[in-house]
Amino acid sequence: MVFWLAESVGTLLSGFPQSAAYTNLNGVHGHAGWRWLFIIDGIITLPLALAGFFFFPNLPQDGKKTWWTTEEEHILSVKRMEAIGRAGKEPWTVAKVKRILLNWHTYLLRLTVIRTINLFNSNVQQISHITLGPEPCLEDYGLPRRQEGIPVVRYPSDSAQ
């Protein structure tokens, strides 16, 4: 529930600056407002992606120590993985692909993800608005932009059920 709540609150709080950027930057330097949203999101995402690339640790099974861990920490992580029976990486073979495709867990996971997205994800409404026309927003329905984040209240109560 914490993740759904965080996603909903994040959607709510990010909606205000995004609608402001869309409205106020529309036409600046010849770019539409929606293009500015992609530029701003890219500026936010790129440093986070780089930080993740450099700071997420390697898998212990890879045998490579992450630059910010000590040798003792790496050895400890390898021993922990061996203690719980985690095997190293296996090469991709036809047998491995068959095992994955014929495993019922694969399909149950997909159904669970689809159900979760359709029931609890506040972005489903936004995606459905995108398919309605070239400039979808709640203003088309007579509501001001500041009300786009109001559905966030529903999701914590849905996830509690």
Q: Where are the domains positioned within the chain?
A: 60-89
Residue 107 makes CB contacts below 8 A (sequence gap 6+) with none
Quick one: pLDDT at residue 93?
Answer: 94
Quick one: pLDDT at residue 160?
Answer: 45
Quick one: pLDDT at residue 48?
Answer: 92
Quick one: pLDDT at residue 161?
Answer: 44
Q: In whole angstroms, what is the distance from residue 2 CA to residue 114 CA?
A: 19
Quick one: pLDDT at residue 134?
Answer: 47
Quick one: pLDDT at residue 96?
Answer: 92
Residue 145 makes CB contacts below 8 A (sequence gap 6+) with 19, 23, 137, 138, 139
Quick one: pLDDT at residue 72?
Answer: 93
CA nearest to 68, candidates 80, 44, 83, 51:
51
Quick one: pLDDT at residue 108?
Answer: 92
Quick one: pLDDT at residue 56?
Answer: 87
Would you state the structure tokens that stand for residue 39, as one six-digit string? Answer: 């530029």
> pTM for this structure?
0.48
Quick one: pLDDT at residue 155?
Answer: 47
pLDDT along the chain (161 residues), means of 10: 75 81 91 90 92 87 84 91 82 92 91 76 53 52 50 47 44
Question: Please, what is the Cα angle at 44 between 43 and 49, to 5 degrees?
Answer: 100
Task: Look at residue 84 and give its three-state secondary structure.
Answer: coil
Radius of gyration of the CA atoms of the chain, in A? 22
